[in-house]
Structure 1
Amino acid sequence: MSRQENIELLDRYFTLMRDGEWEAVEDMYHDDIVIHMAGTTPASGRLVGKAAVTDKLIAEQVHGAMVPEEIRFAQRWKIMCADDERVVAIMEGGGPTRTGDLYYQTYCEIFRFQDGKLIEMHAFFDTALAERALFGNPLARPREPGSARMDY
């Protein structure tokens, strides 16, 4: 795909996310998507396949911890660089959690598209915030690295 096509796909992805169009966001995922999440949080590691991403990561771990009607991801984003293979962007957003905390996160993400679908993403984010707000762990005890390490 061309650099411009990749930029347009990512802008569409973030716009759908901003507008809360989660089914359309999920439709942009390739069936064989691989997402690499930084850190040692319960959401960290390598997720393979659309179901793992949509059911476990998004529905269970992120949206499941948040107040659904108040989720506001992609409130701000900037494409930092792009080529015919990848796009790198910074995105901000979040909202309140069911426990009363606030999960407003900044992500640095590297995207790769194939056949008009998102097939791979590397996400870097504030893991201490995720631990506290999403997983109820204020880091009073350290986590051990998970078995599904990020793949470089």
Structure 2
Amino acid sequence: MMSISNSRMALIGWTVLAMTALWPHLATASGNADTVRNKQIVSDAFQRWAAGGTTFFTDLLAPEVVWTVEGSGPNAGTHRGRDALMERAVRPLAARLSESIKPVSTRIWADGDHVIVNWDGVARARDGVPYTNRYVWIMRMQDGKAIEVNAFLDLARFDDVLRRVSPQ
């Protein structure tokens, strides 16, 4: 038969064991709130964009964002600041499209301050040819804005539109 002190020791041992197992989850409780918040911010921005909104980049990106287009070729590289991204990547493509790109499918995952979005975009180039691309953006969020983005896309499709179509 176990004495009272042994029962208490067993209870303390089980408590320590349970706390050890639960500690990573308890320690990231605020991380879970950040995860939910960041995922919602990105999801809301994509929904507004899909509904015809035109302020996606200013809604979601911090002015000092560091945006890296992964891959190789003339349009791969890092843009430092939202204005640089707009000037060197977004506007050159938009000037060659007869309609804005619309996200037609989005899948979003989040963990703490990181949000990953896999999305398909469609538009029509000014020469009448459809522009479609699949994107994966890995964003690091801070204070409700993306401060770092690694963008993956089919750069051959992107580059083709820039080569084939004259800007407006």
Q: Same fold (TM over 0.5)?
A: yes
The equivalent of 2:112 in structure 1 is 84
Counterpart check, 1:48 vs 2:80:
yes
The residue number in structure 2 matching 1:65 is: 96
* Identity among equivalent pairs (%): 25
SS in 2 for 1:65: coil
1:21 paired residue number: 53
Which residue does 2:158 correspond to in 1? 130
Q: Distance in 1 between matches of 2:153 and 2:41?
A: 22
Give the C-alpha shift of residue 24 in structure 1. Answer: 4.8
| Structure-2 separation of matches of 1:97 and 1:107 | 18
Match of 1:140 in 2: none
Structure 1 length as normaliser, TM-score?
Answer: 0.78
Distance 1:45 1:20 in 2: 28
Matched, 1:6 2:38: yes
- The CA RMSD over aligned residues, in Å, is 1.9
Q: Distance in 2 between matches of 1:15 and 1:25?
A: 13
Query: 1:74 aligns to what SS in structure 2?
Result: strand
Q: 1:88 to 1:15 in 2, by over 3 A?
A: same
CA distance in 2, matches of 1:96, 1:125: 17
Q: Distance in 2 between matches of 1:8 and 1:18?
A: 15
From the superposition, tell whether residues 120 and 15 of structure 1 become closer, same or farther in structure 2 (CA, over 3 Å): same
State how far apart, in whole Å, the 2-side matches of 1:41 and 1:102 are.
22
Query: Going by fraction, where is helix more abundant, 1 or 2?
Result: 2
Question: Quick one: which amino acid aligns to residue 70 of structure 2?
Answer: A
Q: Which runs of 5+ in 2 are unaligned?
A: 1-30
In the alignment, is residue 113 of structure 1 matched against residue 138 of structure 2? no
Of Structure 1 and Structure 2, the greater strand share is in 1
Any conservation in 1 of the 2:42–2:60 contact (CA below 8 Å)? no
| Residues 49 and 55 in structure 2, CA contact (< 8 A), matched pair in contact too | no
- Equivalent position SS for 2:162: helix
